[in-house]
Amino acid sequence: MRWLFRALALIVLIALSLGGALLLIPSKKIAQIAEARFEAATGRKMTLSGSVHATIWPQLGVRTGPVEIANADWSKDGPMLSAKGLQIGVDPGALIGGEIRVSKVDVLSPNILLERRKDGTGNWDFTPPAAAGSAAPASQGEGGGVTAFSLDKGEVSDGSVTWIDHASGQRLALTGIDASLALPSFAGPASLALTGQVSGKALKAKGTLGAFASFLAGDPVPTDLALTLDASSIDFKGTFGTAPLAAKGALSANVKDPAALAAIFGQAAPDLPKGLGRDTITATGDVTLGADGAVQLRGGKLTLDGNALSVAGDLSFPKGKPRIDAQIDAGALDLSALTGSGETGSGGSNGSKSGGWSSATIDATGLQAVDGAIALDASSIDLGTVKLGPTKTQITIDNGRLVADLRQVSAYGGSVTGQVVANARSGFSAAADLSAKGLSMQPLLSDLADYTRLDAKADLAVKLLASGNSQAALARSLSGSGTVALGKGALQGLDLVGMLRTLDMNYVGEGAKTIFDQITASFTIANGVLSNDDLAFKAPLLSAAGKGRVDIGAQTLDYTVTPTALSKADGTGGVKVPLTIKGPWSKPKFGLDVGAISGDKVDAAKKDLKEKADAEIAKKLGITPEEGQSTEDAAKQKLKEEATKGLLKLFK
């Protein structure tokens, strides 16, 4: 803004320098002199239309007609500045003493046009001629070539500022500007108060520059600024300079609606999920702005949609792309919107989400927008599909590839270490190499697949890779391998022991469960289908082996568990019968393959029936078979003995 102050000050001073001649020289000639002096000082043509004359009453000064300053020669959008006129008042006592003390300046309906062409050149870059004899008015002060002056009160009424960026195509207008400026001393503080509208939204600004002359020279000066636009506000207190651009001080910002704020400036709404500033952003901290646009934040307090963060970080532009290096400490973070969990799923308790995996496109373009390295320390993180406890992780982003090193993650009563990768360089892919100990499977599977039937602690090791632009595509492409070991627990909704003892399928549903001591298995995954052939299941009255397939993409399974129910304490009398589990994992169907019951079971049943029949016959016949003697032989022996006794009685 230095150029604006300089241009306006130059116009005022040229007019005042001619004040004594205004009473003697025709107004047209005065206008020509003023125009020539301005062009000599700036290289831009100024046109004063109408009369330029001195005023004695009610205030000593100068009044002009319409004023116009030419734009840069490359612009096609009209003058850089135009106004209906200027009214300048001076202090007569100071003027008599040889000092120019401006008591009042009124700028009537100024219209200012700021442009930047595609190569970055601004229309405010003045290039005055270097020819001899074309110097600006003498008696310059320390304000970068501007003659020293003071101003009791300056006013702008019904003004406008239009910004055009030919590189981006952005066009922005600030209208209805009413402003007041006070500069008691040229080298001292200057104060500004301004109101207006940007895209129909109210703007208010109030600020103070601690040393006006130094500011015009581009030096950093004490600065106090308060700005309100619509429902958002920003406050800064520190130092600010323009040559080079630099700032350092305490910053406070409150953005109520980032999307609405972006719309005011004609920009697309930032694609931020809830939890990362979609609805509200508040920030405080000590900031440092460098000439290259780099920003440092220390002691930062940031709140994004209720997520409170303590931040120390740097923003730089080493390759033209923003890079963020930061240390973030947080309490409980709600990042559930990152997985879109609020838009899918039925919330049931016995299976996967009824709608299956979401086919909505995963927008990972944000990974291309920034590079950086961020260390995160949070007390908990809700990711929607999974929930984490105390977490320490290092996140790096490089050209669209995010790597999260999980250095310390507590989750579901256990711990997780390893690495997760999200890659948006070409399409989207994700990978994980994780180890976990002591995870509570019931809440974990409930969050991941809405499945609550397995209640146990588990140790896991997995390596996974998937690619695709939606959850459904990722699930169908999933590949990898892993191992799982579960300690003591229960399988809800299925009583295997009761089912096998009775060969009755009714031992399923609410209240039914199978207690176990251990389950171990390894698996491989290809094209979204998990395969396993070594499941080992150990329980107090049961052991089992299992194998089959789980189609993760389709959310179905086809699995066979072959259990052995032990009817006696010594482990004998076992019953083996395959149990099939098929269908969608939300509502699997259980079946016993009775035709595959083992021969041992059939032989045992036959033997049991024969023993029962023999015992009943012996009881009715009143016989007791000797050791090694069959019931049939004992009956024959009994019959022979009875016949012999009968014959002996006949011969007595």
Q: In sequence order, what DSSP letters do the residues of 537-568 get, joined into one string?
A: EEETTEEEEEEEEEETTTTEEEEEEEEEE--S
Helix, strand, coil tally for the chain in percent (to 5): 20, 50, 30
* pLDDT computed for residue 99 by the predictor: 63
Average pLDDT over residues 474-484: 96
Name the pLDDT band for 532 (thresholds 50, 70, 90): very high
* pLDDT computed for residue 362 by the predictor: 87
Cα 249–Cα 254–Cα 255 angle in degrees, nearest 5: 130
Express each pLDDT in 580-622 by its tens digit: 999 998 888 888 776 666 555 555 544 554 565 566 666 666 6
* pLDDT computed for residue 136 by the predictor: 43
Name the pLDDT band for 349 (thresholds 50, 70, 90): very low
Can you tell me the distance from the alpha carbon of 185 to that of 230, in angstroms, rounded to the nearest whole number? 33
Cis peptide before 258 (omega within 30 of 0): no
Residue 346 has pLDDT above 50, yes or no: no
Express each pLDDT in 234-293 by its tens digit: 999 999 998 888 999 999 999 998 888 888 877 777 777 888 888 999 999 999 999 888
* Of residues 71, 100, 21, the one with CA closest to residue 31: 21
* pLDDT computed for residue 125 by the predictor: 80
Name the pLDDT band for 477 (thresholds 50, 70, 90): very high
Name the pLDDT band for 351 (thresholds 50, 70, 90): very low
Q: Between 403 and 349, where is the model more confident?
A: 403
Residue 518 has pLDDT above 60, yes or no: yes
Express each pLDDT in 375-390 by its tens digit: 999 999 998 888 899 9
Contact 144, 9 (CB under 8 A): no
User: Which ranges in 578-630 belong to alpha helices (H)?
Assistant: 599-621
* pLDDT computed for residue 291 by the predictor: 83
Can you tell me the distance from the alpha carbon of 445 to that of 453, in angstroms, rounded to the nearest whole number? 9
Name the pLDDT band for 350 (thresholds 50, 70, 90): very low
Express each pLDDT in 73-130 by its tens digit: 999 999 999 999 888 777 776 666 666 567 788 889 999 999 999 998 888 887 655 5
Q: How many helices (H) and strands (E) does the chain have?
A: 11, 37
Average pLDDT over residues 9-15: 58
Express each pLDDT in 175-190 by its tens digit: 999 999 998 888 999 9
Express each pLDDT in 544-563 by its tens digit: 899 999 999 999 999 998 88
Residue 48 has pLDDT above 60, yes or no: yes
Q: Would you tell me how many other CB atoms lie within 10 Å of the CB of residue 28?
A: 11
Query: 306's torsion region: left (phi>0), alpha (psi -120 to 50) or beta?
Result: left
Can you tell me the distance from the alpha carbon of 593 to that of 117, in angstroms, rounded to the nearest whole number? 79
Among 274-283, 397-406, 473-482, 501-510, the range scoring the smallest mean pLDDT is: 501-510
Q: Give the global pTM.
A: 0.71
Question: Which residues fall within 8 angstroms of residue 3, CB to CB, at 6 or more apart?
Answer: 124, 126
* Of residues 550, 441, 552, the one with CA closest to residue 486: 441
The continuous run of DSSP H or E covering 92 comes out as: helix 92-96
Q: Between 461 and 337, where is the model more confident?
A: 461
Question: Which residues fall within 8 angstroms of residue 116, CB to CB, at 6 or more apart?
Answer: 122, 123, 164, 165, 166, 167
Residue 205 has pLDDT above 90, yes or no: yes
Can you tell me the distance from the alpha carbon of 594 to that of 579, in angstroms, rounded to the nearest whole number? 9
